[in-house]
Amino acid sequence: MQLGAFSISLAVKDLKVSRQFYEALGFTVLGGAEAQRYLILKNGNALIGLFQGMFENNILTFNPGWDENAQPFNPFDDVRSIQQQIKKAGIQPVTEADENGSGPAHLIVVDPDGNTILIDQHR
C-alpha cells in the first residue's frame, strides 16, 4: 500500500508566529495561503502544514499520488483502494471515501492511541 507524501498537519494558534518559528528551523513555504489560514512548509523531504482555526488536534496526513513537492506521480494507489485494504485489515474509517467515485477524495482513521490520520487524495 503506497500512501504518498507524508506530512504533519499542525493546529496552530497564530499562523504568522508559527510560520516564523518553522522558517527559523529552515522550512520554506511550499503552498497554501495566509488569507485562507493555512500554509504548507518544506525542509528537505519534511513537510509541515500549519492550520489556524481549522481543526482541534494535530493530524498525520498522507497524500496518495503526490510526492513531497506536491507533484503527481504514477502509478499510485487510489484512496478508494487504500480504504478497501484498510477495511480488510479490520480498521474502520471514521470518514470514508465514496467507493464508487473517482478523483479527489479522503478518508480518516484513528489509531489505537487516538491520533487522527488523514489520507487525502488531491487528484
For residue 51, give the CATH number of its domain. 3.10.180.10
Q: What is the pLDDT of residue 37?
A: 97
> What is the pLDDT confidence band of residue 102, given thresholds at 50, 70 and 90?
very high
Number of domains in the chain: 1
d(CA 14, CA 17): 5
Checking DSSP bridges between strand 116-121 and strand 59-63, what pairing results, if any?
parallel
For the chain, give the percent of residues with pLDDT over 70: 100
- The per-residue pLDDT for range 28-84, each reduced to its tens digit, is 999 999 999 999 999 999 999 999 999 999 999 999 999 988 899 999 999 999 999
Q: What is the pLDDT of residue 16?
A: 97
Mean pLDDT on 101-106: 96
71: Cβ contacts below 8 Å, ≥ 6 apart: none
| Residue 83 CB coordination number (10 Å) | 21
* Enclosing domain of residue 64: 5-121
Residue 87 gets the label, from left (phi > 0), alpha (psi -120 to 50) or beta, of alpha
Q: What is the pLDDT of residue 9?
A: 96
Q: What is the pLDDT of residue 55?
A: 92
Q: Which residues pair with 40 in a beta bridge?
A: 31, 49
Q: What is the pLDDT of residue 107?
A: 97
> What is the pLDDT confidence band of residue 113, given thresholds at 50, 70 and 90?
confident
Amino acid identity for residue 112 in this structure = P
